[in-house]
Amino acid sequence: MNCPKCGQEMRQGFLFSTKDGAFSFADEVPGVFQNAKHAAGFVQVTPLKPNHRVRIEAYCCESCRLIQFQY
Ligand SMILES: [Zn+2]
C-alpha cells in the first residue's frame, strides 16, 4: 500500500493498544460513564478483548506520520 500523502510504500505492521480496551470511532469521544456504543456515529473498529492487546493490521508512513488501517 502506498502513502496517500507522499506516495511512498508504507510499512506493514500492526497498530496495537495497551492490555485492555478496544478501538472505536464516533463523532465525539463519549464520557467514561456513557456506553460508547450509544455515541453518535459509533463504529466498532476492534472488539473488546479484556487482558489482550487490541490489534489491527495497519500500514505506516513514518515520513508523514500517517497510519492507515481497514477495520
Ligand atoms: Zn507518506
Cβ(15)–Cβ(58) below 8 Å: yes
User: From the CA of 29, how far away is ligand 1's center (Å)?
Assistant: 27
User: From the CA of 12, how far away is ligand 1's center (Å)?
Assistant: 13
Residues flanking ion ligand 1, Cβ below 5 Å: 3, 5-6, 61, 63-64
**Residue 6 within any structural domain of the chain:** no
**Residue 3 within any structural domain of the chain:** no
User: From the CA of 58, how far away is ligand 1's center (Å)?
Assistant: 14
**Residue 42 within any structural domain of the chain:** yes
Instruction: Look at the pTM and tell me if it is higher than 0.95.
Output: no
**Residue 56 within any structural domain of the chain:** yes
CA distances from 19 to 3, 35, 48, 51 (A): 29, 20, 11, 5
| Residue range(s) defining the domain that contains residue 47 | 11-69
Helices and strands, number each (H, E), in the chain: 0, 5
The three cell numbers of residue 63 are 515520513
Burial of 39 (0-12, 13-18, 19+ CB in 10 A): middle
**Residue 4 within any structural domain of the chain:** no
pLDDT in tens, the chain (71 residues): 999 999 999 999 999 987 877 888 999 999 988 888 899 999 998 887 778 888 999 999 999 999 999 99
User: From the CA of 34, how far away is ligand 1's center (Å)?
Assistant: 36
